[in-house]
Structure 1
């Protein structure tokens, strides 16, 4: 391998602001912000969405799918059907 071509691989603190969860993992990301976590200082990155708050991982997405196709159709086009009846 050639020397001096690889980025630095350090521990970084990621913070999911929606779920207020912290993840300590290794990354090559560079940031100017730092935070203290468990007694040590780490580079800090704030996230809007992670696996702790994303609907796919939390299971919230299933609630909308349980409604069914007929209910979804009636919700979208129910107003048109009620206008035709007099």
Structure 2
């Protein structure tokens, strides 16, 4: 390998907006503030919400929910 062409890979402090702090490695070489982490992201915490904006889920269910089903008279 050629010498002196690779960036410096150092430990950096990462701080989330929720207050969680951890150390990782990066070529950024500065402290890194982030908005979400594994402690506060809804996917990892299990606190996800399904948002139904403007009844879109119900509209989809009305159109395609009974697709292929036989209607009773």
Which TM-score band applies after superposition, normalised by the shorter structure? 0.5 to 0.7
Distance 1:59 1:11 in 2: 30
TM-score of the pair, normalised by structure 2: 0.61
Distance 1:54 1:6 in 2: 33
Distance 1:54 1:14 in 2: 15
Which consecutive residues of structure 2, in runs of 5 or more, have no partner in the other structure? 52-56, 63-73
Which consecutive residues of structure 1, in runs of 5 or more, have no partner in the other structure? 32-43, 66-71, 78-86
TM-score of the pair, normalised by structure 1: 0.53
Count of equivalent residues: 55
Structure 1 runs (4+) deviating above 2 angstroms are: none
Partner of 1:9: 9
**Deviation of residue 57 (structure 1)?**
0.9
